[in-house]
Amino acid sequence: MAKRVSHRDSMCGVARPLDAIGDWWSLLIVRDAFDGLRRFGEFQKSLGLAKNILSARLRNLLAHGIMETVPAADGSPYQEYVLTEKGRGLFPLLVALRQWGEDFFFEPDEAHVLLVDRKNGLPVRRLELRAQDGRVVGAEDTMVRLPAGKGIA
């Protein structure tokens, strides 16, 4: 937690979120939350991590406003963990991660889960970054503009 940030990362738009997600367990928890999991035990069973670690990660997600606890849901006396709006904002990131995984981590013939449109069951399109005029742009077509002129951040 509270990872050390480099001298220039105080202003960096990439490092700041990384500090909040902290580690990959957190992102897997968020993924499971998108899948509808809400209870401590559900996350633990799904991810197979130690309870103390899950506890720490959930605490961190709560502290960063990515998840929140709600008092009940089905009458149980326990609390449940649900995504906040900030947490739901991670959806594109998860999709990007998933699509990258599909592209490079599965053999061509290897079956893998597919993200599909709920309406008709068809796979979703690939994420594309577009310029204001609608052109699809890649990394080569973009640059970062600095607000005041310091590092390369």
Partner DNA sequence: TCGGATGGTTTTAATTTGAAACCATCGTGT
Partner DNA sequence: ACACGATGGTTTCAAATTAAAACCATCCGA
Contact 39, 25 (CB under 8 A): no
Residue carrying structure tokens 């013939």? 109
Rule CB under 8 A: is residue 6 a binding residue for its own copies?
yes
Residue 40 interaction partner, one of its own copies, DNA, none, beta carbon < 5-8 Å per kind: DNA
Q: Binder to DNA among 28, 49, 93, 95 (CB under 7 A)?
A: 49
Query: What CA dihedral angle connects 9, 14, 17 and 21, to 10 degrees?
Result: -110
Q: What residues numbered 30-89 form the site for its own copies, per CB under 8 A?
A: 31, 34-36, 46-49, 65, 86, 88-89
**Site size for DNA, by CB under 7 A?**
23
Instruction: Return all residues near 144 (Cβ < 8 A) that are at least 6 apart.
Output: 152, 153
Q: Binder to its own copies among 2, 24, 52, 107 (CB under 8 A)?
A: 24
- Residue 54, SS3 per DSSP: helix
Q: What residues numbered 122-141 form the site for its own copies, per CB under 8 A?
A: 122-125, 127-133, 135, 137-141
Q: Binder to DNA among 12, 19, 20, 23 (CB under 7 A)?
A: 23
Distance CA 83, CA 114 (A): 22
Give the length of the chain.
153
Give the binding site for DNA (CB under 7 A). 1-4, 23, 25, 39-42, 49-53, 55-56, 58-59, 76-79
